[in-house]
Amino acid sequence: MTTKVKLVARAKKGDKDAFQALVHEEKEKLYKMAFVYMKNEDEALEVFRETLYTCQYENQYEACHSQSSAREWGLYAKRT
């Protein structure tokens, strides 16, 4: 099992440190991907925040991290 998969599993159980580790690992990729798609700094930041909120507070880790790349994780917010 990869480190990311382990972190997601822990985060799903409410481990805030695991969630923070995921965010720390992926934050730049997520923001950059959001910016590429939104082409606006404020909108990209909003997508970034919505994605993190959805993952952490709505417990949607499977949807947020169903793919291992930041592209799919970041785009989840645009689909909700």
How many other C-beta atoms lie within 10 A of the C-beta of residue 74?
24
Instruction: Among 1-5, 24-28, 35-39, 59-63, name the one with the lowest average pLDDT.
Output: 59-63
What b/e string do you get for 41-58 counting C-beta neighbours within 10 Å, with b at 16 or more?
eeebeebbeebbebbbee
Q: What mean pLDDT is predicted for residues 21-29?
A: 87
Provide, rounded to the nearest whole percent, the portion of the chain with pLDDT above 70: 70
In whole angstroms, give the CA distance from residue 16 to residue 34.
23
Average confidence score pLDDT of the chain: 76
Domain limits of the chain?
Answer: 3-79
DSSP 80: -
Q: Where are the alpha helices (DSSP H) in the chain?
A: 3-12, 16-38, 41-57, 61-64, 70-79
pLDDT tier, 64 (very low <50, low <70, confident <90, very high otherwise): low
Domain 3-79, CATH class in plain words? mainly alpha
pLDDT tier, 54 (very low <50, low <70, confident <90, very high otherwise): confident
